[in-house]
């Protein structure tokens, strides 16, 4: 069982490199390969999650982060902003473990749901989250917050037709 713990200040400088490594998988998809070279969350952005939201890491035997999840509470939902695992550690269930930890956190803090946005047609995105119980939301089911997140993603170049919002209800 992987060790998941809250992120620490001393972890923050490592998290952007984990996200960069995690994004390398996009190089296998020609029309999305640019994402591997796109900006990642800054150390300052990670500090915000550490101070005001949820920032968790999965660590190796040396207690060094090899993956992370960052999220924030909005209304009564925990919104997952980023989930990333070093490329050489992908496919070992670490992302799933981080998500299960976030779900447990949301339950323990009496939140009603978890939300996120992701790619529809990539096996490590929509299908991965469906296996955890998330439901893909139709456009008519989007609340204003999720609709705005998707609009912001499209404005930053992510293909809107390939993106979706998902929700896991905890009630």
Domain locations along the chain: 3-169
Q: Which residues contact 92 (CB under 8 A, 6 or more apart)?
A: 2
pTM of the model: 0.93
In the predicted model, is pLDDT for residue 135 greater than 80?
A: yes
Asked whether residue 137 carries a pLDDT value surpassing 90, the answer given is yes
Q: Tell me the CATH class for 3-169.
A: alpha beta
The pLDDT, as a whole number, for residue 122 is 85
- The backbone torsions φ and ψ at residue 62, rounded to the nearest 5 degrees and listed phi first, read -95, 10
Residue range 112-123: mean pLDDT, rounded: 93
Cα–Cα distance between 2 and 5 in angstroms, integer? 10
Q: What is the mean pLDDT of residues 20-30?
A: 92
User: Averaged over 122-138, what is the pLDDT?
Assistant: 92
Instruction: State how far the Cα of 116 lies from the Cα of 119, in Å rounded to an integer.
Output: 10
Q: pLDDT tens, 37-94?
A: 888 999 999 999 999 889 999 999 999 999 999 999 998 999 999 999 999 999 999 9
Read off the pLDDT of residues 29-41 as tens digits, 9 standing for 90 and up. Answer: 898 888 898 889 9
């Amino acid at each position: 069982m992987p060790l998941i713990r809250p992120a620490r200040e001393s972890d923050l400088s490592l998290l952007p490199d984990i996200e960069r490594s995690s994004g390398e998988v996009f190089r296998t998809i020609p029309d999305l390969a640019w994402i591997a070279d796109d900006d990642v969350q800054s150390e300052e952005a990670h500090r915000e999650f550490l101070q005001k939201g949820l920032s968790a890491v999965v660590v190796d035997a040396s207690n060094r982060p090899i993956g992370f999840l960052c999220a924030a509470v909005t209304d009564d939902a925990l919104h997952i902003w980023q989930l990333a695992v070093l490329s050489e550690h992908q496919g070992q269930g670490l992302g799933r473990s981080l998500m299960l930890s976030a779900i447990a956190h949301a339950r323990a803090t009496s939140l009603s749901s978890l939300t996120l946005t992701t790619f529809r047609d990539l096996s490590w995105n929509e299908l991965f989250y469906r296996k955890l119980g998330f439901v893909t939301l139709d456009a008519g089911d989007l609340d204003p917050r999720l609709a705005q997140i998707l609009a912001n993603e499209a404005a930053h170049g992510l293909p809107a037709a390939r993106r979706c919002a998902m929700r896991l209800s905890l009630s």
